[in-house]
Amino acid sequence: MEERAQVAAVKCTDYSQENLRPAMERALGLIGFFQGRIKPGMSVLVKPNLLTMRKPEDGVTTHPEFVRCVVRILKERGLIVRIGDSPSGDGRNIEKIYQTSGIKRVADEEGAELLKFDMAKEIKGIPIAKAVLDADLFISLPKFKTHGITILTAGIKNVFGAVSGLSKSELHGRFPKSEEFVHELAKIYGHCKPHLTILDGIVCMEGAGPANGQLREANLILASEDGVALDSILAQSIGIDPMKLPMIKEAAAIDAGVADPERIDLLGEEMGNIKLRGFKLPRIHLTDILPHFFLRLLLKLVKFRIELVDDKCCRCKLCEGNCPVKAIDIDGGLKVNKQRCTLCLCCYEICPYGAVNLKKSLLAKLLWG
């Protein structure tokens, strides 16, 4: 008999604890997460999405009140809660990121330990944070956003933050093509699958995510013990066939989770109630309706390039320091070496000031908007 998965969908209209708590409890109750498996004294690693140094109201990171709600629920059941992430960069800014995102305040007020992912263990050549591997329970709290490479960033993509430090940038450099990168993402997810994934979809990001898109109220919490199934439901909610998203398809191919909608039980809200009409993707999917042989010819003519915007750049050198192929020179006049650049978009994601633009040729604009 084929394996099935459950995903709970619950509506929540804001980040007040008054509304968050009952919605969160209902979501976890629907999937029966606490039935039998949880024992007092177990250690839990809670991993939000802390992409870069952004405030909660920017909608780039998992909201601190969402994290607070989860921490309280876990601590009230006698669990030892630690919070950690490995955002873009070499880890030197982690304390500033915790502070700016509001996560430090939550940890201090709720008595949860904040961790740096500065120690790793290699799993099949990938350095995974020991804090993730050593925890009795690994709970992932992704933010519902679009993404320039993976289209969506949610359950599967959030686990990429379990990779330590600059190793993430190095992986972008080793696997510059999107199909190679999503294959590695799926493998990483398979190496350290969370015991529970809870999606912060109360306010989501559409358009040019994961850092520069438009915010939209989705009023949604998704919870599942299968992050692949959660991503499958999320894809359907914005009108995408999940098996057309390479990241989900790759994860299903290596049996990292259930992606087939026919094998996923949606609990709580029905699909019609969580649909987001007119959701803006990071690119227009004209590619889905073009014949593959014609598309291959067109792609040879498509041009993209990274451009740094002088009047927005504060010369912090986050982009330069995190470029896996050392293609950026800030002091030399905000130059990007086109021969070296692999368009991994690390710089685009990490810049907190919106100073990195992805310039497209006319043909690229026609294909991807």
Q: Which of 86-100, 147-161, 230-244 has the highest mean pLDDT?
A: 230-244
- Mean pLDDT over 155-165 rounds to 91
Cβ atoms of 219 and 63 within 8 Å: the answer is no
pLDDT band at 202 (very low <50, low <70, confident <90, very high): very high
pLDDT band at 118 (very low <50, low <70, confident <90, very high): confident
Torsion 246-189-200-348 (CA) sign: negative
Please say if the pLDDT value at position 216 is more than 70.
yes
pLDDT digits (tens, 9 = 90+) for 96-112: 999 999 999 999 999 99
Instruction: Write down the pLDDT at residue 285.
Output: 44
226-238 per-position pLDDT tens digit? 999 999 999 999 9
- Label residue 286 by pLDDT band (50, 70, 90): very low
If one counts every other C-beta atom within 10 angstroms of the C-beta of residue 340, the result is 13
pLDDT of residue 288: 45
The hierarchical CATH code for the domain 285-368 is 3.30.70.20
Q: What is the 3-state secondary structure (H, E, C) of the chain?
A: CCCCEEEEEEECCCCCHHHHHHHHHHHHHHCCCCCCCCCCCCEEEEEECCCCCCCHHHCCCCCHHHHHHHHHHHHHCCCEEEEEECCCCCCCCHHHHHHHHCHHHHHHHHCCEEEECCCEEEECCEEEEHHHHHCCEEEEECEEEEECCCEEECHHHHHHHHECCCHHHHHHHHCCCHHHHHHHHHHHHHHCCCCEEEEEEEEEEECCCCCCCEEEEEEEEEEECCHHHHHHHHHHHCCCCHHHCHHHHHHHHCCCCCCCHHHEEEEECCHHHHCCCCCCCCCCHHHHCCCHHHHHHHHCCCCEEEEECCCCCCCCCHHHHHCCCCCEECCCCCEECCCCCCCCCHHHHHCCCCCEEEEECHHHHHHHC
Tell me, what's the pLDDT at 344?
A: 72
What does the alpha-carbon distance between residue 129 and residue 163 come to, in Å, rounded to a whole number?
6
Q: Check: CATH 3.30.43 for 5-274?
A: no
Residue 90 confidence (pLDDT): 61
Query: For residue range 38-90, what is the model confidence (pLDDT) as tens digits?
Result: 899 999 999 999 988 899 999 999 999 999 999 999 999 999 999 999 986 66
Q: Which amino acid is at 290?
A: L
Rounded alpha-carbon distances, angstroms, from residue 177 to 71, 84, 150, 329: 37, 29, 11, 23
Give CA–CA dist 269/306, Å, rounded. 41
Mean pLDDT, the chain, whole residue set: 89
Torsion angle defined by CA atoms of residues 67, 246, 150 and 334, in that order, rounded to the nearest 10 degrees: 150
pLDDT at residue 65, rounded to an integer: 99
Q: Look at 90 and 257; give whichever has higher pLDDT.
A: 257
The predicted model scores a pTM of 0.86
Indicate whether 274 pLDDT > 60. Answer: yes
For the chain, the structural domain boundaries read: 5-274, 285-368
pLDDT band with cut points at 50, 70 and 90 for residue 292: low
End-to-end Cα distance, the chain: 43
Which pLDDT band holds residue 284 (cuts at 50, 70, 90)? very low
Q: What is the mean pLDDT of residues 176-184?
A: 79
- State the pLDDT at residue 289: 42
CA dist., res. 221 & res. 226, Å (int): 15
